[in-house]
Structure 1
């Protein structure tokens, strides 16, 4: 398979539309490959370890084994409707924002989009910009997903699925409650996206010799490692975001600094890396699938239009 490159004569609008559509397809591939790992990560992040008590799950593999024993394979896909509905447009917006960021960097540098290469620093800055429109769209879906994922098996609180979770959140604190954790999400994704796109582009260039066509293997390797680097820097922000978004009662009023301080005091530095194992395990296959889906669909669009 050879990837068709973007046409240098593409208008900025055409390039943005192609990136929007291919980003959405990449997002669907990412959810399908990564959801079970994400569910395990959230279950690990939300279990509170008390002194002298054994935790329910000792790690990622133990959590997977126990969830499958209790809830079957479907248990690992609990709550997938929210990310599938939410992540597809988010990735579309993310890749659209990334392309817009790249166009902006070309304008600042006075270079030509589609012809000249940006430096990896400029790529990372364009990546950080992509998090802004994506977070505006993503925060409510993340909140709903986290609330659904921590609900124990057999609970009848949210019988109506996603709809009853949304109505519970809205009753609790209106639309503002739906956006709880937005600042933490923006921090996680702004910093994570700098690593994500910077590493992807850097590895893609390193794995593609001068004048050679981009290969699927280069995309898979670059995409997988980019996903791992993204999570390596984003995990502490993600843990705090999950705590903020699943907090109830008095805990719900606490912000990023308060949650971070309390977690460090009660559970130590390691608490900020809770769920790191499943996140890193998920990162390679999910993001390899995402970038492969994105590059294949972008190549298809470049051939067709």
Structure 2
């Protein structure tokens, strides 16, 4: 790619990721709220149905979108970083076979690029994840994003906005490795074995499946991450591993999969909407925002 076309490619990545992020956030946030409640307070929120009913009856339907604003902002920043970095890595290290569509894509490169992408996005996502986790565990009253941030700064200082960095890195690197790698493989599989499938349906199903597989792999890292970030006593680095071991000891290995049910229920529609939004955003950008020079 020429240097002249690089700004357009970057703008395209950011625009499409923002469109996809908005779609993903508002489709998936209710499931994410249930997941967080189950992870941080399993004695009360023991299963998906009971947790959903408890939140609905006690706090109303709007409670399912608690933290949606910082989540949408965080997702936009995260996905702009994630899809931008991943696309930049693809441009820097292209896969000739994938580009020509004459054979299967690399089985290693998309996963390695996804892991690198996850490490980069973790730094962007971390502050909004901390605020979101603290918002979602509050039961019975409504508090604002500003109140949570003020509480963090008062009780932990500025370092509180980066508590659990090691947790975020562990979760995001594992998730994005499978997320982007799986998406490439699913897309290739559907193009190969279901050639009549419309591209939009391929993006939708492949994105949903990639999200489900990614979260299944990342969930044991996500449960202690949620607990670390919901607490006001966590350090930037060093709280995560003890919390992981504590959960495994007290709840067993199954405790590291708390919230997997609502996560998987959320993962398919949310990530299907994300990838469909991203791919649609690319087409919209090409056709209406910044047409490529002839």
Please report the TM-score for the alignment, with normalisation by the length of structure 2: 0.89
- Residue 125 (structure 1) shift: 1.6
Structure 1 residue 57: deviation in Å? 2.3
For residues 13-63 of structure 1, what are the alpha-carbon distances to aligned partners after superposition, in whole Å with 9 as ceiling and x for unaligned? 322321121011111110010000000000000015xxxxxx322301111
State the 1:122 CA deviation. Answer: 1.0
CA contact (8 A) 1:184 1:241 kept: yes
Partner of 1:269: 253
Is 2:209 the counterpart of 1:225? yes
Pairing 1:190–2:173 present? yes
Question: What is the aligned counterpart of 2:148 among 162, 165, 168?
Answer: 165
What's the counterpart of residue 146 of structure 1? 133
Look up the match of 2:80. Answer: 92
Contact persistence 1:120–1:201 (CA under 8 A): no
- Deviation for aligned residue 1:177: 1.0
Aligned to 1:130: 117
SS at match of 1:207: helix
The two structures, once aligned, show a CA RMSD in angstroms of: 2.7
Aligned pair partner of 1:200 in 174, 180, 183: 183
- TM-fit CA distance, 1:120: 3.5
- Given the two structures, how large is their TM-score scaled by the length of structure 1? 0.86
Q: Distance in 1 between matches of 2:278 and 2:90?
A: 17
CA deviation after TM superposition for structure 1 residue 11, in Å: 2.7
Would you say the 8 A contact 1:35–1:77 is kept in 2? yes
How far does residue 267 in structure 1 lie from its aligned partner after superposition? Answer: 1.5
Pick closer, same or farther for the CA change 1:250–1:179 going to 2, 3 Å: closer
Instruction: Report whether the alignment pairs 1:234 with 2:194.
Output: no
In structure 1, distance between residues paired with 2:287 and 2:99: 15
Deviation at 1:213, TM superposition (A): 8.5
Partners in 2 of 1:154 and 1:194 — Cα distance?
A: 37
CA distances 1:93-128 after superposition (whole Å, capped 9, x unpaired): 11001111212323xx7x599668852421112212
Asked if the contact 1:244/1:254 (under 8 Å) is kept, the reply is: no
Alpha-carbon distance change, 185 to 150 in structure 1, aligned in 2, over 3 angstroms: same
Q: 1:135 to 1:167 in 2, by over 3 A?
A: same
Which ranges in structure 2 are unaligned for 5 or more consecutive residues?
none
* 256-265 vs 283-292, which moves further: 256-265
Range that drifts further, 231-240 or 121-130: 121-130
Q: Which residue of 2 aligns with 1:282?
A: 266
- Aligned residues of 2:228 and 2:234 also touching (Cα < 8 A): no
> Relative to structure 1, is the Cα distance of residues 289 and 75 closer, same or farther in structure 2, using a 3 angstrom cutoff?
same
